[in-house]
Each structure stands twice: as structure tokens, then as C-alpha cells.
Amino acid sequence: MTPVLQADALAGGYGELQVFRDITLTLASNEVLGILGPNGAGKTTLLRTLAGLQPRQAGTVNLEGRDISRTRAWQRVRAGLVMVPEGRQIIPGLSVLENLELTRASGRAGADDASFNTRVAQAWELFPRLAERRHQPGDALSGGEQQMLAIARALMMEPKALLLDEPTQGLAPIIVQELRGVLQKLAGRFAILLVEQNRAFMDGLATRSAEMRGGRLYATSR
Ligand SMILES: Nc1ncnc2c1ncn2[C@@H]1O[C@H](COP(=O)(O)OP(=O)(O)OP(=O)(O)O)[C@@H](O)[C@H]1O
Ligand SMILES: [Mg+2]
């Protein structure tokens, strides 16, 4: 079966600086690949490079067997490669609902009212807390609620592969548990690449795991 996401000999960094190199990974449609690694290992840089938010230095990225290495970030989102960024990046002055409405412009799924409303209803079902706070501004949400909103916003794009960058960062243990429940519900619906420093969070959630150290990725046997 063609993997949903595949990277071959991928390298990336900032200008002359190489942060990671020779990264090869594949992700099947029902898999959750967990990547652990210390601060500065290059995890965010890898995800941003996969998402097309920064240029690769070498290698290729394929989505459903199609080489997307030369496409822009918005084209990758439209094709189904969606990232939930580190730090959530909620638009503070916009309400919860308005943050979701921003995704209409991405054009990944139908922007018409019926399909948009269906997806919003699915988001409320998955995150009842967001439904209650739908008219509150993004910056009035707790860290956990902001993380849920960031995930809900990504789901609006109907991902084929979802990239999650340290979703548990800074969250209280009880919220981490709640988030885990949500990801457990989503696992298997599409491919998930989960970057975390919280090993316990990943255990039982990831179907396969790897560790990033010094810009290289090492498979961890499970
Ligand atoms: N905009 C940038 N310009 C130059 N170097 C950067 C930039 N962003 C990150 N780096 C460097 O790239 C390396 C990898 O950073 P990256 O953010 O990818 O690590 P990370 O594994 O995500 O770490 P963390 O767990 O702290 O989020 C670090 O040495 C960092 O200093
Ligand atoms: Mg990071």
C-alpha cells in the first residue's frame, strides 16, 4: 500500500545551518508515528519542512505517492497535509468560531455553508468545551482549550496526515489525559505524526515510535 506520507533522505535547516539530515520516514493511513527527542533536536524544523513552511535542503516529501517537495505550504494543506503548530498559534482577537472560520479560505474541504457547518458540528462534538466557548476570544481560553482549538482547526481541513508538534506542552496532567482521549478517538482515521517530549503520553497512542537526536531519526523498537 502506498504510504500517506513519505520522506526520503530529507535534510533541512536555516540558511547554511543544517539542523537535520538523512531523514527517511513512512506513515501509513492508520498509523500514529511518535517522535520523541530533547529540546533542540530538530523536531519542529522537521515538521515545518514536511509542511512546506520552510525550504528543504535535500531529499523529497511524498503525499499519497505524489512528490510534493516543490509545493507551497498552502498547497500541502489543500492536499491533506495539515500541521498543528508548536505553541498552538490561535488568533487571540478572534472568537473560537472565527478561528475555525479562517479555514474556509484554505479550500481543502468545501467552503460552502453545509459542509462547513457539518465540520463545525463535528468539532463541537469532539470538543464540547469549545462549543460552550464558541463566542469567546481565543486569548480568553486556557492553554488546554487553545490546544483543542488548534486541533479542531486542523481537523476542519480534513487531514490525510496530521502533524502534531508537542501538543501537551505546558498543560496540566488532567488536560493531558483529556487530550489523549481525543487523540485516541482520532487515531486510525488518518495518519498522525506526533512529536512529543512526554513519553508517557505517547505510550499506547503511537503505533510506532522513533527518537530524534542531533538532527537524526532513530527507529525505536516496540
Ligand atoms: N529560525 C531559526 N533560525 C536559526 N536556527 C534555528 C531557528 N529555529 C530553530 N533553530 C535551531 O535549530 C535547532 C533545532 O530547533 P527545533 O526548534 O527544530 O528543535 P526542537 O526539537 O523542536 O526543540 P524543542 O523541543 O525545544 O521544541 C536548534 O539548534 C535551534 O536553535
Ligand atoms: Mg519544537
Answer whether 87 contacts ligand 1 (Cβ < 6 A).
no
**Residue of 213, 157, 160, 200 lying closest to 37 (CA atoms):** 213
Domain ranges of the chain: 5-96+159-220
Q: How far is the CA of 43 from the centre of ligand 2 (A)?
A: 5
CA 84 to chain centre: 4
Atom of ligand 1 nearest to the CA of 38: 25
Rounded to two decimals, what is the model's pTM? Answer: 0.95
Q: At what angle do helices 143-155 and 173-186 cross, to 10 degrees?
A: 10
Pocket test for ligand 1, best of 36, 44, 211 (most atoms within 8 A of CB): 44
Residue identifier of the C-alpha nearest atom 4 of ligand 1 = 14
> For position 106, what pLDDT does the model report?
72
**Residue of 101, 116, 108 lying closest to 78 (CA atoms):** 108
What CATH code would you report for 5-96+159-220? 3.40.50.300
Q: How far is the CA of 19 from the centre of ligand 1 (A)?
A: 8
Beta carbons of 37 and 197 less than 8 angstroms apart: yes
Atom of ligand 1 nearest to the CA of 41: 21
Q: At what angle do helices 113-126 and 143-155 cross, to 10 degrees?
A: 140
Instruction: Give the integer Cα–Cα distance in Å for 42 and 214.
Output: 7
Residue range 52-89, pLDDT digits in tens: 999 999 999 999 999 999 999 999 999 999 999 999 89
Q: Name, in order, each residue with C-beta under 8 angstroms of 166's C-beta and a sequence gap of 6 or more.
A: 43, 86, 195, 196, 197
Each residue's pLDDT, cut to its tens digit, for the chain (222 residues) gives 789 999 999 999 999 999 999 999 999 999 999 999 999 999 999 999 999 999 999 999 999 999 999 999 999 999 999 999 999 899 999 999 999 999 887 766 566 778 889 999 999 999 999 999 999 999 999 999 999 999 999 999 999 999 999 999 999 999 999 999 999 999 999 999 999 999 999 998 999 999 999 999 999 855
> For position 221, what pLDDT does the model report?
59
